[in-house]
Amino acid sequence: MPPNFMTLTRQSLYDLVWSTPMSTLAKDFGISDVALAKRCRAVDVPVPPRGYWARRGAGRHRQTRG
């Protein structure tokens, strides 16, 4: 195994992706945000849509329909 190898459960990856912007998280892991997105797709972890963190920063939260 490479020295920077890390194992995460699907749930822990999901929690990280939805609590931290992908670009910040990718830097912490030492990979690009595109590589992180590919790994999320590979294990079927949904990622926030474009602009999600900007809207949250502006105080606008995603509305759910129901």
Confidence at residue 54, expressed as pLDDT on a 0 to 100 scale: 85
Q: Tokens 């790994």 identify what position?
A: 39
What is the DSSP secondary-structure string of 1-66? --TT-----HHHHHHHHHHS-HHHHHHHHTS-HHHHHHHHHHTT---PPTTHHHHHHTTPPPPPP-
Domain containing 26 equals 10-47
Taking residues 4-32, report their average pLDDT.
91
Please tell me the total count of domains within the chain.
1
Contact by Cβ (8 Å): 33, 26: yes
Lowest model confidence (mean pLDDT) among 3-7, 38-42, 60-64: 60-64
Q: Is 59 domain-assigned?
A: no
- Position with higher pLDDT, 1 vs 7: 7
Q: Is 20 domain-assigned?
A: yes
Q: Is 64 domain-assigned?
A: no
Q: Is 30 domain-assigned?
A: yes
